[in-house]
A and B are shown apart, each in its own frame.
Chain A
Amino acid sequence: MTAYILRRLWQMLPTMLGVIVLVFFLFNWVGGDPAYILAGKMSNPQQIANIRTQLGIDQPYYIQLWIFIKQIVTFNFGNSWSTGESVANVIMTRLGPSMTVLIPLTILETLIAVALALAVAFIRGSKVDRMVMVACTVGMSISILVYIILFQYWFAYKLSLFPVQGWGNSFWENLFHYSALPILIMLAVSIAPSLRLYRTFVLDEVNQDYVRTARAKGVKERRILWVHVLRNAAIPIITNVMSNLPALLIGAFLIERFFSIPGIGREVILAVERSDFPVIKAITIYVAAATMIFNLLTDLLYQAVDPRVQLK
């Protein structure tokens, strides 16, 4: 087990190095000279030269890359170009609000989508099943922007059931007062694609021999689905949930922006708007690292769920 984890971590190194080089290439080469962005519209050559020395971009590329790698390893990306806040601090303080929304969202979404998928698979082929699938296709076609705009307008602005936007200081207030509507909207958006996907996973299992055996020995249909089928369909479901997690951190940026939730996603948007390169670079690198770690965790979870899986 330990050997497996160590080997996997070792294998991540070249990919991580690739991500670092890609980000470096994007921001230091494609992005042009950041000194011009930093110096602003009123600048003289001396100022620009000063900024260039400060950032180290008058050095050759390999030294710049080495500086970048040192920054990543020491978690010291310097300060944000627009606010002067240290980048490490930006990331640490924005992670909490994002998690307050994302953790309940992921748990609720998985539970509801799995339950619905099993229910729909139970009545597969019926009219209700077909109608649910068509409704999913139509629901997925409407832009997430439309959901957010309409839900915010009706539930928060017109009916005053929820705050229109904002964020407080206490965890419970944030969770139940400010996060409720964002979570509701994300559920409305994300259940349809998950339901469609999980339904195919479940349907792949219901025609297997073990289901027939269970039926033959008189197990109730409900127990077959919830115990026998669910356990076997769990692997692709876990893969889906786990691999979506880091992407969700960024994917929630629209919600965070509309509801003024000070999370990672909103920070990315702000950084892109302000050309705040250090913040984008840092978030990209760490989210990529998180994605790789989560992939490893997923593989480890497989074995916990299904003893037949051999970690090699």
Chain B
Amino acid sequence: MTQSINSAPAQAAPEATAATVALNSAPGATHSPGLWALAWRRLRADHVAMAAMAVVGLYLIMLVLSASGLLAKDWAKEIGVNYAPPTFMGAQTDAERGFSDNDAVTAAPPPENPVDPLRDILRDLRKSGTVAIAPPVIANDYGIADPLAAEMAEIRAELAKKGGSVVLARKPTLPFGADKWGHDIIKKTVKGAETSIIVGLVAALLAVALGTIFGAVSGYFGGWIDDAFNWFYSIFTSIPYLLLILAVAAVLQQKGVMAIVLILGLTGWTGTYRLIRAEYMKHKSREYVMAADAIGASHWSKMFGHIFPNVSHVSLVQLSISVVGFIKSEVILSFLGFGVPVGVVSWGSMLNEAQNELILGKWWQLAAASIAMAILVTAFSLFTDALRDALDPKLK
């Protein structure tokens, strides 16, 4: 499919590389490039694929930096005011934030509730409040002064003296805004990327490993083993994927990154299984496997020492496809609240918060999470397509 998209640059380049190959391999002459070398050459000739790979690489570098604590370690620090807008929009006025201290002072006290049993006490309190303390008292609620104000001020002063982590001056704007608690959205997105990508990668590794092993055993041995695995496969495919995930989520009852990885990994092996099984059925009667058999290679050695290197490209492409699919699934699971636990941020949990923020006009968290995800998934999909085209000899 992308073959046609990329056909223009791809057509010109292979000739050039072919020429250099001929030059390079001329002295050796006996050594011909293997599947991987050829695929890499084809991939390098594809500009879109290389650009996509660079983007994916950048995300992975970001992931490593964030996981090792070099980047976005302090994402949970509340450094901005609530819903601080992005810097390019300018700070919010008080009216926009929905409250104002000035109003509270000048406004008349709220009308009395005639049936309120505390009416008299309230009236007394209001009087004593305005008399005892200076007039511009902060009187937001029913004209009652905060009885803990003095103590709180003391505690704050104490903390400030100690140089504690209390945030005295919250920033009115942040580079890309802040969420409800004043977390920096950029750092939060980086941290969310870490969770989402790790879940996608580990779950994909698990699913593809399961699919490959099942497919290898099933395709290699055939007979009743094959029937048993096929039965298993037909069970898993007759339940729609999302329903299966939700059923497992309902049963597991515990949230955590590990739980999502298990849910996605244990349910997502079917596609790889079918492809790998077909490959093993094709390969097991080839001459090189018979030759290995003749020199006394064990089943295990034939399956994974001899056949697997010849079909491993299928697993690689499946891995690449699964990562994209699982990142999307994780986002949906976390959005619904069946995914990451409270306190762990992922793109899904960000979208969950952003849904309510949008109605208040705070669009930046939604924009950050969805753009970050869209760029990664686009790059990964383009790379996967190119990888498949590069590895599939039929398309040559």
Listed in ascending order, the chain A residues whose CB lies under 8 Å from chain B are 14-15, 18-19, 22-23, 26-27, 30-32, 124-125, 129-130, 133-134, 137-138, 140-146, 149-150, 153, 157, 196, 199-200, 246-247, 249-251, 253-254, 257, 268-269, 271-273, 275, 277, 280, 283-284, 287-288, 291-292
Contacts and interface: CB of A to CB of B under 8 A. Distances in A.
Contacts of B366: 146, 149-150
Contacts of A144: 332
Contact of B351 (A23, A130, A146): A146
A192 to B, nearest CB: 11
A141 B239 contact: no
A253 B358 CA distance: 21
Contact of B241 (A22, A157, A247, A272): A247
B316 to A, nearest CB: 20
B231 A19 contact: no
B1 A153 contact: no
Contacts of B375: 141
A143 B373 contact: yes
A133 B4 contact: yes
Contact of A271 (B250, B252, B348, B373): B250
A280 B378 contact: no
A18 B235 contact: yes
A200 B385 CA distance: 13
A184 to B, nearest CB: 19
Interface of B: 1-2, 4-5, 7, 231-232, 234-235, 237-244, 246-253, 328, 331-332, 335-338, 347-348, 351, 354-355, 358-359, 366, 370, 373-378, 381-382, 385
Q: Could you tell me the dominant secondary structure of chain B's interface residues?
A: helix
A68 B374 CA distance: 44
A254 B242 CA distance: 11
B244 to A, nearest CB: 8
B266 to A, nearest CB: 11
Contacts, number: 135
Nearest to B248: A26
Given A272-B249, A280-B247, A292-B238, A141 B381 contact: yes
Given A138-B378, A153-B359, A288 B250 contact: no
A246 B240 contact: yes
A130 B250 contact: no
Contacts of B232: 18
13 contacts: A14-B231, A18-B234, A32-B253, A125-B4, A130-B4, A141-B373, A141-B376, A142-B374, A145-B335, A153-B359, A200-B1, A254-B332, A273-B337
B234 to A, nearest CB: 5
A30 B253 CA distance: 10
A124 B4 contact: yes
B378 A149 contact: no
A59 B132 CA distance: 73
Highest count of chain A CB atoms <10 Å: which of B244, B246, B251, B359: B251
Given A145-B335, A153-B359, A269-B246, A137 B381 contact: yes
Contacts of B370: 142-143, 146
B2 A133 contact: yes
Highest count of chain B CB atoms <10 Å: which of A15, A150, A199, A247: A15
Given A133-B1, A269-B336, A275 B239 contact: no
A158 to B, nearest CB: 10
A171 B373 CA distance: 38
Contact of B253 (A250, A253, A254, A275): A275
B250 A143 contact: no
Given A27-B251, A32-B253, A133 B5 contact: yes
Nearest to A279: B250
A142 B247 CA distance: 25
Contacts of B331: 143, 145
A156 B253 CA distance: 35
Contact of A272 (B246, B351, B354): B246
B280 to A, nearest CB: 23
Contacts of A18: 231-232, 234-235
Given A143-B332, A146-B374, A254-B332, 12 more contacts: A18-B231, A30-B251, A134-B5, A141-B373, A143-B331, A143-B347, A145-B355, A150-B366, A157-B359, A251-B240, A253-B242, A283-B243
Q: Which 5 A-B pairs have the closest CB atoms?
A: A141-B377, A18-B235, A247-B240, A141-B378, A31-B251
Contacts of A291: 237-240
Given A15-B234, A19-B238, A125-B4, A250 B382 contact: no
B240 A280 contact: no
Nearest to A272: B250
A251 B329 CA distance: 12
Contact of B243 (A15, A133, A199, A268): A268
Contacts of A271: 250
B226 to A, nearest CB: 15
Nearest to A291: B238
Contact of A125 (B7, B335, B336): B7
A284 B239 contact: yes
B246 A268 contact: yes
Given A27-B251, A199-B1, A22 B235 contact: yes
A17 B249 CA distance: 22
Contacts of B328: 143
Contact of A250 (B240, B359, B385): B240
Contact of A287 (B243, B248, B358, B378): B243
A269 B338 CA distance: 10
